[in-house]
C-alpha cells in the first residue's frame, strides 16, 4: 500500500449565515484542493453556514430577547439538514474529484424534531457517500445558548489509503476520552476542526500529535466584520458589536513527533496542501502507542455509547 497521502486544510471565511452560497464556496475550494493533488480536503467547524459570533457580542443570554430570537430563527433556516440534501453539491464534487472531505456544519436534524441545531463534523468518502456525522458532545460556553449537546454515534474512524482518519470539533479536542475513543479505533490522522483562532491551535495541535503519535490537521475558519452582509437580520447591530477580526484562522498540520508540517497560518484565506508519510506514524509508535503496547486494558478501559439519541422511540403501531 502507498504510504503517502496528500491532504488539504482549507482556511476560508463562510458567506456568513448563507448556507447555499457557503456550500458553493466550499465546492470551489474543493476543486482548488483537488487540482493540488489532495486526496482528503478538510474545512473548519460550523463553516456551513457559520459560527454564531453574535451571541457574546449582543447580550445573547438575555431571556425572551426579540433580537436573539430573530437571529436564532435565521440560523435555523440556514442550517444544514443532511437528509434534505443540503450537502449534495459537496458530495457530488467529492465523487467527481475522487476526494474525501471533512466538513464542519451546523446541522438541524429531523431525528431530533428539526428545530434544534448541532455543531457537526461530516465525513464524506471519495465516492461521495456521507459515512458519519459526529455531533459535538458538549458545546462550549456561550455556544450552549444556540447549539444542543450531541452524542457518541459519530465517534468513528474511516480508512483512507494507509491512514485511518478521525476527527473532533473544537474544544472536544481537549477531551482525553473522546480522543481515546478514536485512538482505539486505529486513528493515525486526526482532524481537529475549529471556527478560527490562533489561540486555539498553536498549543494543542502538537500535543495531540505527540500523544497519539499521529498526524494532526487543525483546520480553522476566518471571520471579519467585512463578512457581515447587509441582508442579515440586525446587520447594523452585528457590525457595530463585531471586532475587525473575530476568527483569525490558525490552520496548521503537525507530524507524529509533534513537529510542524505546516505552522499556524493567521488572517489569510488559503488552501494548505501537504503530503503525509505513514511510515512516520509507524516510527513514532515504536516507543509509545496509547492504545497498543503502552495500554493496560486490564486496568483502564473506555466504554463508548454510540447510540444515536432521540426523544422518541416508536416500536410499532398498535394493531388495528
Going by C-alpha positions, the residue among 72, 73, 127 that lies closest to residue 99 is 127
Catalytic (active site) residue 45: yes
**CATH number of the domain residue 245 falls in:** 3.60.110.10
Q: Which residues contact 223 (CB under 8 A, 6 or more apart)?
A: 13, 14, 16, 50, 51, 53, 195, 196, 245, 246, 247
At 187-244, the pLDDT tens digits run: 999 999 999 999 999 999 999 999 999 999 999 999 999 999 999 999 999 999 999 9
Q: Answer yes or no: is 318 within a domain.
A: no
Q: Answer yes or no: is 316 within a domain.
A: no
Q: Answer yes or no: is 319 within a domain.
A: no
Q: How far apart are CA 320 and CA 318, in angstroms?
A: 6
Q: How far apart are CA 83 and CA 315, in angstroms?
A: 22
Query: In terms of residue numbers, what domain contains 234?
Result: 4-284
The one-character DSSP state at 214 is: S
The neighbour count for residue 111, using CB atoms within 10 Å, is 11
Catalytic (active site) residue 172: no
Given the residues 25, 107, 136, 172, the one annotated as active site: 136
130, β-bridge pairs? 124
pLDDT of residue 144: 97
Q: Answer yes or no: is 296 within a domain.
A: no
Q: Which residues of the chain have pLDDT under 70?
A: 1, 317-320
Given the residues 45, 107, 187, 211, the one annotated as active site: 45
SS3 261: strand
Given the residues 25, 107, 170, 172, the one annotated as active site: 170
| Sign of the four-CA dihedral 204, 157, 133, 252 | positive
Report the DSSP pairing between strands 163-169 and 4-11. Answer: unpaired
Q: Answer yes or no: is 306 within a domain.
A: no
Report the DSSP pairing between strands 215-219 and 189-193. Answer: parallel
Counting the structural domains of the chain, the total is 1
Q: Answer yes or no: is 249 within a domain.
A: yes
pLDDT of residue 1: 61
Cβ proximity of 220 and 70 under 8 Å: no
Q: Answer yes or no: is 298 within a domain.
A: no
Q: Answer yes or no: is 24 within a domain.
A: yes
Going by C-alpha positions, the residue among 178, 151, 175, 164 that lies closest to residue 306 is 151
At 241-275, the pLDDT tens digits run: 999 999 999 999 999 999 999 999 999 999 999 99
Q: Which cell numbers in the block locate residue 291?
A: 492504545
Catalytic (active site) residue 105: no
Amino acid at each position: 500500500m502507498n504510504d503517502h497521502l496528500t491532504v488539504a486544510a482549507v482556511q476560508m471565511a463562510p458567506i456568513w449565515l448563507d448556507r447555499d452560497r457557503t456550500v458553493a464556496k466550499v465546492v470551489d475550494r474543493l476543486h482548488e484542493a483537488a487540482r493540488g493533488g489532495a486526496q482528503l480536503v478538510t474545512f473548519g467547524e460550523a463553516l456551513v453556514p457559520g459560527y454564531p459570533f453574535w451571541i457574546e457580542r449582543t447580550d445573547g443570554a438575555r431571556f425572551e430577547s426579540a433580537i436573539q430570537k430573530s437571529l436564532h430563527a435565521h440560523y435555523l433556516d440556514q442550517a444544514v439538514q443532511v437528509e434534505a440534501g443540503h450537502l449534495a453539491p459537496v458530495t457530488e464534487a467529492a465523487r467527481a474529484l475522487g476526494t474525501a472531505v471533512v466538513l464542519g456544519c451546523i446541522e438541524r436534524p429531523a431525528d431530533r424534531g428539526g428545530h434544534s441545531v448541532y455543531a457537526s463534523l461530516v465525513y464524506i468518502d471519495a465516492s461521495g457517500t456521507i459515512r458519519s456525522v459526529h455531533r459535538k458532545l458538549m458545546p462550549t460556553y456561550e455556544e450552549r445558548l444556540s447549539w444542543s449537546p450531541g452524542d457518541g454515534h459519530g465517534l468513528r474512524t474511516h480508512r483512507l489509503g494507509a491512514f485511518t482518519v478521525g476527527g473532533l470539533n473544537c474544544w472536544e479536542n481537549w477531551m482525553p476520552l473522546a480522543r481515546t475513543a478514536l485512538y482505539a479505533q486505529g486513528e493515525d490522522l486526526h482532524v481537529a476542526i475549529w471556527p478560527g483562532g490562533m489561540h486555539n491551535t498553536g498549543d494543542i495541535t502538537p500535543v495531540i500529535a505527540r500523544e497519539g503519535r499521529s498526524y494532526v490537521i487543525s483546520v480553522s475558519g476566518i471571520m471579519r466584520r467585512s463578512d457581515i452582509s447587509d441582508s442579515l437580520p440586525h446587520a447594523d447591530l452585528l457590525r457595530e458589536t463585531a471586532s475587525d477580526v473575530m476568527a483569525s484562522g490558525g490552520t496548521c498540520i503537525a507530524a507524529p513527533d509533534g513537529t510542524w508540517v505546516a505552522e499556524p497560518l493567521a488572517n489569510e484565506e488559503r488552501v494548505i496542501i501537504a503530503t503525509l508519510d505513514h511510515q512516520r506514524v509507524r516510527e513514532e509508535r515504536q516507543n509509545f502507542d496509547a492504545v497498543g503496547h503502552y495500554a493496560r486494558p486490564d486496568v483502564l478501559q473506555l466504554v463508548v455509547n454510540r447510540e444515536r439519541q432521540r426523544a422518541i422511540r416508536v416500536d410499532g403501531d398498535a394493531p388495528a
